A = this chain, B = another copy of it.
């Protein structure tokens, strides 16, 4: 009798926000980067992708992926690479143990939900591919370590490899041509420095103009300054950042985070034609952070910007009021402050023009913190008969 069972497994996976940025591929097919990078994994209480992977002989014949109820194209080389690599690992397991069900050959049905807007510069593809790889690895009961899985997730979306760990995570660029050593490793678990907080100012939820994938290729092809960034700047920043995290030295962490973000956006501007991800609202966020630090007399807040205008501001829990409270003084009317204990501070310290630009341009805030890596869950997005469940 044919096996018509619906096999399934679910996971959640986190967003990560880099403090040393990935921008540039030395091998676009394998997603091998021109430089190492380092990120903080954010708490899944606030930002996560939830994914259920299922397989069954009753599905198919095609693999499918539903994201926030919309069918996604899975025929692209990146998604196919992830499926193929995971199936290869499952096949090896099945070959070594004849009692295992033959899942590798079955069509996959993946259902995914983000609790945040897709493609708004909130690293949704990182959480998405990390969840996809982790969910299928769970479904296939692979014994692979997070670092081993990171090699696969990297092929889906470079920065996804870092979302397979919690806490503070490095993606070591590696040297091998086949990408076997281009993987994520834990720099420190969230528990090592649990007081790290992040305040995200969502500047625009519009889809961005230049995709990261094509943008970074043009940077590599045209930016003279990016050569120096890859060869000299990033290696320095990686070393300084790892040390700052080991020592829980926020001033260094913050300084390097800000300089790094600026260096990355400088190479975007040095691209031809130039790429602008930050806008005048982003600049107002930078000014606000500078003014908050000036008032504190030291670096207690650090901005960073990915490939979009949203500001992510890192700070330590003890400075919640001085940092998030000062921003709340400006943006207290917006969604995102509910349920978070933040005492409003006066905004006198912040430049009046920056205050106005933030009021005009920020649409919501997200308050979160360093968090854990992917978490297996019994909460499924696919029913026992294989139908997607709307949440």
Binary interface profile of A, 260-272, with partner B (CB < 8 Å = 1, else 0)? Answer: 0011011101111
Please state if A262 and B258 are interface contacts (CB–CB under 8 Å): no
Q: Kindly state whether residue A283 has any CB partner on chain B within 8 Å.
A: yes
* Interface members, chain A 214-270 (any B CB < 8 Å): 222, 224-225, 227-229, 232-233, 236, 255, 258-259, 262-263, 265-267, 269-270
B-chain residues with CB within 8 Å of residue A356 when the two chains form the complex: none
Q: Which of A279-336 contact B (CB under 8 A)?
A: 279-280, 283, 286, 290
Q: Is A274 an interface residue (CB 8 A)?
A: yes
Least distance between A172 CB and chain B CB atoms (Å)? 21
In the bound complex, do residue B274 and residue A225 qualify as a contact, i.e. CB atoms below 8 Å apart?
A: no
A378 to B233, CA, bound (A): 56
Chain B residues with Cβ under 8 A from A259's Cβ?
A: 222, 270, 272
Interface string of A170-190 (1 = CB under 8 A from B): 000000000000000000000
Q: How many copies does the complex hold?
A: 2
Is A71 in the interface zone, CB < 8 Å from B? no
Task: Choose from B266, B286, B290 the contact partner of A225 (Cβ within 8 Å).
Answer: B266
Question: Taking the complex as formed, is A276 at the interface, i.e. its CB lies under 8 A from any CB of chain B?
Answer: yes
CB of A112, distance to nearest CB on chain B (Å)? 32
Picked from B232, B265, B283, the residue with its CB within 8 Å of the CB of A224 is: B232
Q: How far is the CA of A270 from the CA of B21 in the complex (A)?
A: 14
Interface assignment of A143: CB less than 8 Å from any CB of chain B: no
Contacts of A263 in B (CB 8 A): 224-225, 270
Residues of B within 8 A of A229 (CB): 224-225
Q: How far is the CA of A60 from the CA of B320 in the complex (A)?
A: 60
Cβ-defined contact, A272 with B262, below 8 A: yes
Q: A194 near B: Cβ within 8 Å?
A: no
CB distance from A265 to the nearest CB of B (A): 6
Partner of A280, one of B233, B236, B270, B279: B279
The minimal Cβ–Cβ distance linking A124 to chain B, given in whole angstroms, is: 24
Q: Identify which of A269, A276, A290 gathers the most chain B CB atoms within 10 Å of its CB.
A: A269
Known A-B contacts A225-B225, A225-B233, A228-B224; the reply to A269 vs B266 at CB < 8 A is: yes
CB distance from A305 to the nearest CB of B (A): 11
- Additional A-B contacts beyond A227-B228, A259-B270 (8; CB < 8 A): A222-B259, A224-B232, A225-B263, A228-B228, A258-B273, A262-B274, A273-B286, A279-B283
